[in-house]
Chains A and B, each alone.
Chain A
């Protein structure tokens, strides 16, 4: 049960966060869009992006201090692997206008055609990639 309750609860909090962003400031909570959009000169109207990102890091730090049991995993790959994956994720999410949060949660919740197609695409390619990695 635990392996369902925690994901459901965590997911609900993610949904609550996205809902607060839309109802509060009218923004879609897409992390790649927020990060990509913050990489420019920020006018006062863009500050929400930096504060959201700051919140993400603070939330992570808070959880690490209060509940270190969630952080017992290791990062198993080489630096080169993380660099290559990071570059592809950064470029790809901007080219595709979104990632798991913007397309996978917000777009799916809005039943947006582009987001449904994007989500199916990145899920499929993620599955294929892991399958191929398993073979080599």
Chain B
């Protein structure tokens, strides 16, 4: 049952990304181009997503999930250097190519070599992080 929920949620998430315009990297770069020719429309993706999640998360936050013994919510509340440096790096990479992880994966559906290369590089970056965190 939990794999069914996951695959359906994954499909729904991808449909949402495509409809919203988030999968178009040029649109994403236009959204980040606040100091230039700003395309504000993608701000409404966050408005839509956070409004729905805010209500649902409030409802589910202290409840047992339907198909799991408990929720796995993050418990760390400390703003540390790793969070700041990692987020800054992500922002730079996002601004360079216009891809964040979700839309990059959905763009595999285009079979475009550049999207595929980005996803492979992203996975390699995650592996490098894994090696790096072992040395810490």
A residues whose Cβ falls under 8 Å from a Cβ of B: 3-4, 6-29, 31-32, 35-36, 39, 47-49, 51-64, 67, 70-71, 73-77, 79, 81-97, 99-101, 103-110, 112-114, 117-119, 121-131, 133-134
B13 partner, pick from A14, A71, A130, beta carbons under 8 A? A14
A90 partner, pick from B29, B87, B121, beta carbons under 8 A? B121
Nearest-neighbour CB distance to chain A for B96, whole angstroms, equals 4
A108 partner residues in chain B, CB cutoff 8 A: 46, 50
Question: B18 to A10, Cβ gap below 8 A?
Answer: yes
Residues of chain B from 20 to 61 with CB closer than 8 A to chain A in the complex: 20-27, 29, 32-36, 39, 41-54, 56-57, 59-61
Among B16, B49, B95: residue with most chain A CB under 10 A: B49
11 chain-A/chain-B pairs, Cβ below 8 angstroms: A7-B20, A19-B57, A21-B6, A22-B60, A51-B4, A53-B105, A55-B14, A75-B115, A86-B125, A87-B125, A109-B54
| A contacts with B: majority SS | helix
**How long is the Cα–Cα vector from A26 to B11 in the complex, in angstroms?**
18
**How long is the Cα–Cα vector from A124 to B88 in the complex, in angstroms?**
8
Question: A28 to B74, Cβ gap below 8 A?
Answer: yes
A131 partner residues in chain B, CB cutoff 8 A: 33-36
A26 partner, pick from B42, B65, B113, B114, beta carbons under 8 A? B65
B20 partner residues in chain A, CB cutoff 8 A: 6-7, 9-11, 13-14
B3 partner residues in chain A, CB cutoff 8 A: 47-48, 51
Question: A14 to B45, Cβ gap below 8 A?
Answer: yes
Question: B44 to A8, Cβ gap below 8 A?
Answer: yes
Question: A55 to B91, Cβ gap below 8 A?
Answer: no
Nearest-neighbour CB distance to chain A for B110, whole angstroms, equals 6
From known contacts A56-B106, A108-B50, A128-B95, infer whether A31 and B101 are also in contact, taking CB-CB under 8 Å: yes
**How long is the Cα–Cα vector from A79 to B119 in the complex, in angstroms?**
12
**How long is the Cα–Cα vector from A22 to B64 in the complex, in angstroms?**
10
B15 partner residues in chain A, CB cutoff 8 A: 10, 13, 59, 62-63
From known contacts A60-B107, A118-B87, infer whether A85 and B97 are also in contact, taking CB-CB under 8 Å: yes
Question: A100 to B60, Cβ gap below 8 A?
Answer: no
